[in-house]
Amino acid sequence: MADLQERAKVSPTAARPWPICGLVLALLLAGSVATCQDKDKEKSEKAPRTLLDLAKLSEEGQDVTKPAEALKEKYKELKGVMAGYKSRARKGIGTGPESPEDGIETKIIALSKQAPTAATLKKEKADLIRVGHVNLAVAEMARHYKPKKAREGKTRKDWLKHCDDLKQGADDLIKAAKANDARAVQRGAAALQATCNRCHEDFRD
């Protein structure tokens, strides 16, 4: 910089293009800083406030690892996250048409017992994909909670393994629904269901 100023003094004509370049550069920089700020704002406005928000972010294709960490502040206990599996009447997220049995847990159990027909799968495809993303969201959230009680010999490593399995089952269910593969939907649901049971056995009951 000092060097440029020196040269400017010695030869004002040669130095003239620089201020213009500087101005253009400054405008470009200002422009890109402004867009970055806008993007940040957009993101923070979209920060999830509920488990369902987090599931929606996941459905939009976002990695929810970080947002899940932030959302943890809103749910003091894992119990509040797990309650998302209950029916709408019991303040859960629910799936499909409203009914006393519209909980996601009930849906997973039903699917694990019987594969949907092609027609049902077609009709419920979007719902099933959303169910998968709710499970992905739960899996990412659950990692951050310290298990209160554990069956003898069970450690945090086992806890995290159950979270990984939940994520895997959710991924499989989403893929199966997207591929219109009814048998794979059943397998994915059965894997999820087995994971719920294994974790509850180790850390809940």
Query: Which residues contact ligand HEC by CB under 6 A?
Result: 77-79, 82-83, 85-86, 105, 108, 135, 142, 147, 159, 162-163, 166, 192, 195-196, 199-200, 203-204
Query: Can you tell me the distance from the alpha carbon of 85 to that of 104, in angstroms, rounded to the nearest whole number?
Result: 5
Longest pairwise C-alpha distance within the chain:
87
Min separation Cβ 64 and ligand HEC, Å: 16
Closer of 16 and 200 to ligand HEC (Cβ): 200
Closer of 182 and 203 to ligand HEC (Cβ): 203
Min separation Cβ 121 and ligand HEC, Å: 19
Q: CA of 42: how far to CAs of 27, 55, 58, in Å? A: 22, 18, 16
Query: Can you tell me the distance from the alpha carbon of 96 to that of 102, in angstroms, rounded to the nearest whole number?
Result: 7
The answer to whether the beta carbons of residues 163 and 156 sit under 8 Å apart is no
Closer of 173 and 182 to ligand HEC (Cβ): 173
Closer of 27 and 194 to ligand HEC (Cβ): 194
